Amino acid sequence: MSAAPSADPSCWFDPFEDRLREECGVFGVFGAEDAALLTALGLHALQHRGQEACGITSYDGGRFYNERHLGLVGDNFSGPDVPHRLPGFAAIGHNRYSTQGAPVLRNVQPLFADLSSGGMSIAHNGNLTNSRILREQLVQAGAIFQSTSDTEVVIQLVARSRQTRIVDRFTDALHQIEGAFALVCLTNKKLIGARDPLGIRPLVLGRLGSAYILASETCALSMIGAQFVRDIKAGEIVVITEAGIESIMYAPERRPRPCVFEFVYFARPDSIVDGRPVYQVRKNMGRILAEECPAIADVVVPVPDSGVPAALGFAEASHIPFEHGIVRNHYVGRTFIQPSQQIRDMGVRLKHSANRAQLEGKRVVLIDDSIVRGTTSRKIVSMVREAGATEVHFRSASPMIKWPDYYGIDTPLRDKLIAATHSLEEIRQELGADSLGFLSVDGLYRAMGEERRNPDQAQFTDHCFTGEYPTQLSDSNRQLSDKDQQLSFLNEVA
């Protein structure tokens, strides 16, 4: 377990709001007619995991077809010509939100390469924590990179492996990478899926008739009418061919540690992640939050959309009426990533509007999934007050976020995380709320069916709350070492 570093996670953060950003979504299908069309539908169900870009690679038994676009799935893969543009019985797809590599077309996945054994396309959800070190080593050895995405490191490692079989070369690559990942790969004869040794990032297996499906979440299976078969195990590779499925445990079997933020925010509410229904877990968070941080109020109001299940749970447990006191505008897209100053000053009003009829003259409990920098929360509190609320009590359905993420979640620097630099009372004053409460870490674990957090027994990946990172952070630790050496040199010169 690594100590928590304070270095920049080198993640691009949306300046328009201070929400945690989704990671990425992956999808794959083997043995289906119009595989690309099914992939487009699956990606549509996974759109919440990344809205910057999308791509699909298909294979028809003789040729690979690859399309990658900036923008949403519906804007690029919704026409009836998709099966003609991307023919084949096998396909993989990807929705992207960049956590490594700029949001430009050359970083959009799936990435494709012609290897000595044939074509290979790969899509990745997660973040490799030693990709910079590996990249430098590969470049020094003569590798030429076409992107700045950490995913290309995997392709380069596969290409340079001395193993003969493609599965063995892929396994060889996985033994060299660190971090969190769920991978889907398409080769001439195979669809391959892999999950990191701790199962931090999710990946599920489904079946549709005689076809097999790999997806980040079960909601993508539901979209195409596929049956859920099972979760891919932590440290497992699944190889799907015309002969069926082969399972390979490339890492020692250990208790999985899925990321808690899949349950707090990232996964779609109708998904089931590692056997836990996300919607129910979020309602449980609200119920326990009401026990731990009660409030005397007239109405419980969620910050839409992710705060809704927790607010329902809070309302049920506290016997306070639930109301949609804030209405979200779903038609504000990524156009406003870098808005003009005038638009930026409008703040959350572009995405959220106060429902005055449900707020005026009332004591309001606001429920949100989390608080990151606090800027959006402060604006929402102000907006609710302006709509006539007499009191505003803010509650976070997750614990305080005090540490950055290195596994595929876009978080700012630690000194930009309000809970890392402020006390509870200071945060309350910053938000302008009458009271403030956060779900406890043990409360979060109870919501997921555990008695409490047990530091001696690996349960979940919860580093954003605890600072305990479950893997090596080689790139970040080296950055810290380099900075220490530079400071030492400057001190000696001084």
Does the pLDDT at position 9 exceed 70? no
Q: What is the pLDDT of residue 16?
A: 38
Residues contacting residue 490 through CB under 8 Å, at least 6 positions apart: none
Domains of the chain: 25-257 (3.60.20.10), 277-461 (3.40.50.2020)
Please give the average per-residue pLDDT across 365-370, as a whole number.
97
**Whole-Å CA distances, 235 to 49, 247, 267, 469:** 22, 10, 21, 18
Which of the residue ranges 98-112, 250-264, 339-353, 416-430 would you say has the lowest mean pLDDT? 339-353
* Band (173; pLDDT cuts 50, 70, 90): very high
> What percentage of the chain has pLDDT greater than the value 70?
86
By the 8 A CB rule, do 124 and 158 touch? no
Please give the average per-residue pLDDT across 185-212, as a whole number.
97
Q: Which of 11, 24, 54, 293 is catalytic?
A: 24
At 82, the amino acid letter reads V
At 22, the amino acid letter reads E
Angle, CA 175 vertex, CA 272 and CA 180 arms, to 5°: 35
Residue bearing tokens 């429902």: 355
Does the pLDDT at position 185 exceed 60? yes
Q: What is the pLDDT of residue 329?
A: 80
Q: What is the pLDDT of residue 4?
A: 42
Nearest to 12 by CA among 101, 131, 121: 101
Q: What is the pLDDT of residue 483?
A: 44
pLDDT per residue as tens digits for the range 370-409: 999 999 999 999 999 999 999 999 999 999 999 999 897 7
Q: What is the pLDDT of residue 219?
A: 98
By the 8 A CB rule, do 297 and 311 touch? no
Q: What is the pLDDT of residue 306?
A: 87
Does the pLDDT at position 335 exceed 60? no
* Band (19; pLDDT cuts 50, 70, 90): low
What the block records as the tokens of 356 is: 């005055």
Whole-number mean pLDDT of the chain? 89
Please give the average per-residue pLDDT across 91-102, as a whole number.
78
Q: What is the pLDDT of residue 3?
A: 42
Q: What is the pLDDT of residue 165?
A: 95
Please give the average per-residue pLDDT across 47-67, as a whole number.
96
pLDDT per residue as tens digits for the range 448-480: 999 999 988 879 999 999 999 999 999 988 765
Q: b or e along 53-81 (b: 16 or more beta carbons within 10 Å of the residue's beta carbon)?
A: bbbbbbbeeeebbbbbebebbeebbeeee
* Band (101; pLDDT cuts 50, 70, 90): low
Does the pLDDT at position 343 exceed 80? no
Residue bearing tokens 């968070």: 285
* Band (138; pLDDT cuts 50, 70, 90): very high
* Alpha carbons 473 and 478: distance in angstroms, whole number: 8
By the 8 A CB rule, do 40 and 69 touch? no
> What percentage of the chain has pLDDT greater than the value 90?
78
By the 8 A CB rule, do 367 and 286 touch? yes
Q: What is the pLDDT of residue 412?
A: 64
Which of the residue ranges 72-76, 243-247, 336-340 would you say has the lowest mean pLDDT? 336-340
* Alpha carbons 343 and 23: distance in angstroms, whole number: 26
Q: Is 449 exposed, middle or buried (0-12, 13-18, 19+ CB in 10 A)?
A: exposed
197 strand-pairing partners: none
Chain centroid to CA 286: how far? Answer: 21
* Alpha carbons 124 and 25: distance in angstroms, whole number: 8
Q: What is the pLDDT of residue 13?
A: 36
Q: In what order do the strands lie in the sheet with 211-215?
A: 64-70, 53-59, 90-96, 25-30, 211-215, 204-208, 227-231
The 3-state secondary structure of the chain reads CECCCCCCCCCCCCCCCCCCECCCEEEEEECCCCHHHHHHHHHHHCHHHCCCEEEEEEECCCCEEEEEEECCHHHHCCCCCHHHHCCCCEEEEEEECCCCCCCCHHHCCCEEEEECCEEEEEEEEEEECCHHHHHHHHHHCCCCCCCCCCHHHHHHHHHHCCCCCHHHHHHHHHCCCCEEEEEEEEECCCEEEEECCCCCCCCEEEEECCEEEEECCHHHHHHHCCEEEEECCCCEEEEEECCEEEEEECCCCCCCCCECHHHHHHCCCCCEECCEEHHHHHHHHHHHHHHHCCCCCCEEEECCCCCHHHHHHHHHHHCCCECCCEEECCCCCHHHCCCCHHHHHCHHHHCEEECHHHHCCCEEEEEECCCCCCHHHHHHHHHHHHCCCCEEEEEECCCCCCCCCCCCCECCCHHHCHHHHCCHHHHHHHHCCCEEEECCHHHHHHHCCCCCCCCCCCCCECHHHHCCECCCCHHHHHHHHHHHHHHHHHHHHC
* Alpha carbons 102 and 134: distance in angstroms, whole number: 19
Tell me if residue 259 is catalytic.
no
* Alpha carbons 153 and 155: distance in angstroms, whole number: 5
Q: Around Cβ 478, how many Cβ atoms within 10 Å?
A: 14
Please give the average per-residue pLDDT across 123-138, as a whole number.
96
By the 8 A CB rule, do 65 and 58 touch? yes
